Amino acid sequence: MNNQNSPNSSNNSLLKILLGLAAVVILVLGYMLFNANQKTESQESIINQKIEELTAVRTRLDSISTQLDAKIAEIKELGGKVEELEHLKARLNHDKAELKNTSKFDKNTYEEKIQEYIALLSEKDQQINKLRSENESLVKEKGILTQEKEGVVRENTGLRAEREVLTQSVTEERSKNEELSKKVRIGAQLKAINIQALAVSSRGKVQDGGNYKSKKMNQLLIIFTLPSNPLTEQNEKEIILRILDPTGAVISDSALGSGIFQFNGIETAYTSKKVIEYTSNDQRVEMLFSRGENSRYNAGNYTIELYAEGFKIGQGVFSVK
């Protein structure tokens, strides 16, 4: 007689229950795996679609960029203004750079931008056609003017030859006149002769001889003669005096009337200057220079230089012991 509550019967029932639960778990896992695969495939499809859209937009923007470069070059060649296209080029480059940020990519937004670019390129085509037409007209006008110019040139060939001969003659005559004027100017320049330097003491005593003691030289009196010259115009003349010390330096003190003058295109310091009325009668000229109470002349040889009207007119010397 079989006993239904035997241990074997209980074990069989438990096994069946476990097998049932395992089957359920397998079914659930299978369902979850199926859903995961479906979701992955859907995401891949979305990503692939976005990649295709990005690629298509990038390709279209590159094409627009190429067209834009060509139009900029052509408009420049035709002499038109390209500032607007340069700004458009900058915007286009910015939009292309923004494509790297795929998270913000929106196909519709870029489609609107692309249509705007296409419309602007179409407008520039009209501008290019207009510039071409204007340039063709200018070329025709230039051709007509060239023909007219050639006709005038042919008609004036004889006159030009005569003018060249006349110009050469005038040039030669002008050169001769300039040379003559130069000779006259040189001949008319002042000359300073018998240049002397006299020492004047603090008591007013004048000493000559050209060799002086420093302590007795309170002032220096420069005396010279301007010989008669019929070529020299009789009017006011500015005489410039330069005294060079034994080292070759110019004795100069702006407080005592010294300054700068131009000689042969070079700025040169001078010691003092004086304006005289030239009379062309071997006139005697005196120029008095004082270095001040606390300044003394160093021992050595000194040089006196005189200038007038752009020329060096004379030179003398004196010495100090």
User: One digit per residue, pLDDT tens: the chain, 321 residues?
Assistant: 445 556 677 778 888 888 888 888 888 887 787 777 666 666 677 667 777 777 888 888 888 889 888 888 888 888 888 888 888 889 888 887 777 776 667 777 888 878 888 888 888 788 888 888 888 888 888 888 787 777 777 777 777 777 777 677 666 667 555 665 555 677 789 999 999 999 998 888 999 999 999 888 889 999 999 999 999 999 999 999 999 999 999 999 988 899 999 999 999 999 999 999 999 999 999 999 988 667 789 999 999 999 999 999 999 999 999
Q: What sign does the dihedral 134-140-141-143 (CA atoms) show?
A: positive
Residue 117 CA to residue 96 CA, distance in Å, equals: 13
pLDDT in tens, 75-117: 888 888 888 888 888 988 888 777 777 666 777 788 887 888 8
Domain 193-320, second-level architecture:
Sandwich (2.60)
Domain ranges of the chain: 20-126, 156-188, 193-320
Encoded tokens for 154: 């042919």
Please report the DSSP string for 150-206 in residue order.
Answer: HHHHHHTHHHHHHHHHHHHHHHHHHHHHHHHHHHHHHHHS---EEEEEEEE-TT--E
For residue 298, the 8-state DSSP code is P
> Quick one: pLDDT at residue 287?
96
Q: Which pTM does this prediction carry?
A: 0.46
Strands 236-244 and 300-308: antiparallel
Q: So what's the pLDDT on residue 281?
A: 94
H/E element, 266: strand 266-270
In terms of phi and psi (left: phi > 0; alpha: psi -120 to 50; beta: otherwise), the region of 209 is left
Q: Which pLDDT score, from 0 to 100, does residue 137 have?
A: 81
Q: Could you tell me if 224 and 316 are in contact, meaning their C-beta atoms sit under 8 angstroms apart?
A: yes
- What pLDDT sits at residue 82? 84
Pairing assessment for the beta strands 236-244 and 219-226 based on DSSP bridges: unpaired
Please tell me the predicted confidence (pLDDT) of residue 117: 83
Q: Which residues have CB under 8 Å from 73's CB, separation 6+?
A: none
